[in-house]
Chain A
Amino acid sequence: MKQNSLWKDAFFRLAKDKLALFSLVIVLIYFLVALLSSMGLLASTWSQEVGASNLPPSLEHLFGTDIFGRSVLQKVIRGTQVAMSVGVAASIIAIPIGVLLGAFAGYFGGWIDDFVTWLYTTFSSVPNIMLLISITLILGKGIFAVYIALGATSWVTLCRLIRGEVMKHKEREYVQAAGAIGGGHMRKLFRHILPNVSHIIIINTSMQFQIAIKSEVILSYLGLGVQGEPSWGTMIDDAKLELVRGVWWQLAGATVAMFFILLAFNILSDALRDALDPKLKGK
């Protein structure tokens, strides 16, 4: 006798999608690489000279070397660590803010809703990159500022989605039924409504993750992001001047690494939406 929760059903639907599974594997590999790198097990010697300056890719140096003779492969791996950590940090900051504000606004309405709506319309009316720049200017340059800046901007979409969905669900009869058996607001909101809108958190986080990665690259490219560490953004920035001399491998390394993780997240987000969103079921 099978007992399938909606989560299990969704997982089986996801598992049927081969392309999505492949994307999931790629995402997990990136996470693994980032984790190993942060533990010092991978690319710990990125700052050391491994050969002559600007060596093209070869068997010995897979991605070639940069102007200081450092391994581009190791720099790409360090860049992966930076990119993934930015995604994770932005999510850790954005999810609680977005979910809580959105849930309270949607559930209670009234002045709470007015305040939250005002807050996120204010945030979203300023162009994202301007906001990011101003936050990094206040907090000073560095990876920490990037975490805060991306966290502070990426809760807006999640908050808006959660608010709308909670408003819809609070009128449902199962929530009224919870009230009729004596359940209070917190029980209705956290035990009944939130589990039913939580698929949005997963789908949205997957989408926000790639936005965070892209934003970090842009910030670092502009010189506002990570300092003193390799990042895909700084590598692209460096490659700008080298390209005229035919040194293409630093640019290629960074963009190929970025390309695959972004593509994988894109496919995964779509597949997650197909699998989790009850509205699309059966299509």
Chain B
Amino acid sequence: MTLPLLSVKNLVVEFRTGEGIVRAVNNISFDIPHGKTIGIVGESGSGKSVTSLAVMGLLQKPAAVIPQGEIFFNGVDLLKCNENEMRKIRGNQISMIFQEPMTSLNPVFKVGEQIAEAIRIHKNVSNKVAWEKAVHLMNLVGIPNPSASAHKYPHEMSGGQKQRVMIAMAISCDPKLLIADEPTTALDVTIQKQVLELLHKLQQDLNMSMMFITHDLGVIGDIADDVVVMYRSNVVEQNNAQEIFTKAIHPYTKGLLACRPKLGANPRRLLTVSDFMTEEGVEKTVPVERIQIFDKESEVIKTDHVLLEIQNLVTQFPIKGGLFGRTVDHFKAVDDVSFKIKKGQTLGLVGESGCGKTTLGRSILRLVEPSAGKIIYDGKDITHVQHEELRLLRKKMQIIFQDPYSSLNPRMTIADILMEPLNIHNEGGTKAQRYEMARALLEKVGLKASLMNRYPHEFSGGQRQRICIARALMLRPEFVICDESVSALDVSIQAQVLNLLLDLQQEFGLTYVFISHDLSVVNFIADEVGVMYAGKIIEMDKASNIYKSAKTEYTRALLSAIPKGETKQSLASLV
């Protein structure tokens, strides 16, 4: 048997913090054979990124300590190497791609120079040779017109192209091992698919090994040979990809597989990790009614009452130019959009970044002023209402934002945050009654009432999003816009929040506009789906129809780009 390229044995990583020692990686072992791709899956905080940093020797010392373990790379224990030896290996034999292409490139240098620099650090070649190699690499990673593109600055490129540049830099010295840490998480699905295909092709062509880190099992299925599942600093399961998807053993893996909404049929409520195991990691049996496939067609439409109607809505932003900043042109973020939503229904809006879906949501709420068209809410034209009327409207229409980290005021307690809407509208009686209402709603969204006096930074992303949902519901609105409300969350948390949104819709009779870039999520939650492209809704139909028989080329491209990993997996085999 040949030696694997990388072999991690009994690795332990601990962090010394003000509160004591935190074990981030607990006694894990895995191998990466030559020419294979290993996927490491786990939610945020599970220790997957720390593992990759340990391999790269990039852990922040002295906060991080490795009390135990070995990392063999080509027979050399990396943990015993000094900084000089590591520097020769890092970037040369092992290289890394990071999650955020927007900030990983230096904005003041041309991309060609940055790739050439990576080459010149490790190889003794002239500037000219390095530049030519850089152009060659850019061609290899599929950047159109490489010799001209090499002269571009990072801000002149799209997110997908920047990630390609990062990949070009990473493979510039023909590394034996490529570590990719969530390389596609920040990208749109269609771009994600292209980048995944590129990575797979490069790995095959250059005969590299790859360590692919992600929180999304769906992505792993497309790229990895073997999968390592991490949960709370431990490796809970490792096997080859096919086996993981068909015969998952550990309840956490089963939960991860089940919690991502499918493009086809879904149960009424999504399964979550907590359906498969208890907090302590003990396996549970899944109740049968949870996994029954739910047929949306069979559900009778509750009402025919049209709650919201949008007619030919246009929202445009001025483009300033010239010496005195005159308005030279307008950019139409929302371009002639019309639709209707019936009460109690969910409209899904799907599109890639920059398609205008967020501006559309804000325009409906009048957080951004529309330039033309009409917004009719409950039979009343609200396009131009002002002051007091607009304030009253805010009681009925609410929004849940994307980023749970920036949408809560860090200087206010949860109680203050939840009671503020009541204070503004002078509702809910005395202070004690308002507090009681806030407490009740906090429990309804699944958080303990004892957390009322905490501050936002003490909560996780999923918990914060629950608080945002509670805040939006304090005034008992009829209509809620969810703007990418689950996109920033781990898949397992995402499923819980989606279930919560469904429960609340039933209980309070809410009407949702659900904005997302993720078609599978929209398919799960929406009754009707509108596909947006360049400010227009190019296709609109019942959710099931969109997925069965999309009419436009663009929708079909979006659909085919969704990672299919777990669709090989039938729900039945999970029981």
Let me know if A195 is at the binding interface, CB within 8 A: yes
Residues of B in contact with A, size category? 20 to 34
Tell me whether A181 and B408 are in contact (CB under 8 A): no
Structural contact, B409 and A192, CB atoms closer than 8 A = yes
Question: A4 an interface residue at 8 Å Cβ cutoff?
Answer: yes
Report which of A1, A3, A176, A192 forms a contact with B455, defined as CB distance below 8 A.
A3
Contact status of A172 and B454, CB under 8 A, knowing A177-B401, A177-B468, A181-B398: no
Within 8 A of B (CB), among A1-48: 1, 3-7
Q: Which of B102-110, B146-154, B420-428 contacts A (4 or more CB under 8 A)?
A: B420-428
B403 proximity list for chain A (CB < 8 A): 173
Partner among B399, B420, B450, B455 whose Cβ is within 8 Å of the Cβ of A4: B455
Q: How far is the CA of A127 from the CA of B376 in the complex (A)?
A: 58
Cβ–Cβ contact A178 & B394, under 8 A? no
Contacting residues, chain A, for B468 (C-beta < 8 A): 177
Q: Which of B364-412 contact A (CB under 8 A)?
A: 365, 367, 391, 394-395, 398-399, 401-403, 406-412
A6 contact set on B, CB distance < 8 A: 410-411, 455, 457
A181 x B401 contact (CB < 8 A): no
B453 at the binding interface (Cβ < 8 Å): yes
CB distance from B435 to the nearest CB of A (A): 15
A174 closest partner in B (C-beta): B409
Q: Which residues of the partner chain A approach B187 to less than 8 Å between Cβ atoms? A: none
Q: Give the shortest distance, in Å, between A244 (CB) and chain B (any CB).
A: 56
| B455 close to A178 (CB less than 8 A) | no
Chain B residues near A (Cβ < 8 Å): 365, 367, 391, 394-395, 398-399, 401-403, 406-413, 420-421, 424-425, 450, 453-455, 457-458, 468, 471-472, 474-475
> Smallest Cβ distance from B427 to chain A, in angstroms?
10
Q: Point out the residues of chain B lying under 8 angstroms from A182, CB to CB.
A: 391, 394-395, 421, 424-425, 475
- CB <8 Å contact, A172 and B455: no
Whether A187 touches B424, Cβ cut-off 8 Å, given contacts A4-B458, A181-B471, is yes
Q: Are B411 and A196 in contact (CB under 8 A)?
A: yes
- With known contacts A3-B454, A6-B457, A181–B410 Cβ distance under 8 A: no
Q: Which residues of B contact A183 (CB under 8 A)?
A: 420, 424
Chain B, interface SS category: loop
Cβ of A180 within 8 Å of any chain B Cβ, yes or no, is yes
- Distance in angstroms from B50 CB to nearest chain A CB is 16
Q: List 26 A-B contacts (CB under 8 A).
A: A3-B458, A5-B411, A5-B413, A6-B410, A7-B411, A172-B406, A172-B407, A173-B402, A173-B406, A173-B407, A174-B406, A174-B407, A174-B408, A176-B367, A177-B399, A177-B401, A180-B365, A180-B399, A180-B472, A181-B398, A181-B421, A181-B424, A181-B471, A183-B420, A187-B424, A195-B411
**A3, B453: Cβ atoms closer than 8 Å:** yes
Structural contact, B367 and A179, CB atoms closer than 8 A: yes
Residue in B398, B410, B411, B472 with the greatest tally of chain A CB atoms within 10 Å: B411
Extra A-B contacts (15), CB below 8 Å, given A6-B411, A174-B409, A181-B420: A1-B450, A3-B454, A4-B455, A6-B410, A172-B407, A173-B407, A174-B406, A174-B407, A177-B408, A179-B367, A180-B398, A181-B471, A181-B475, A182-B395, A196-B409
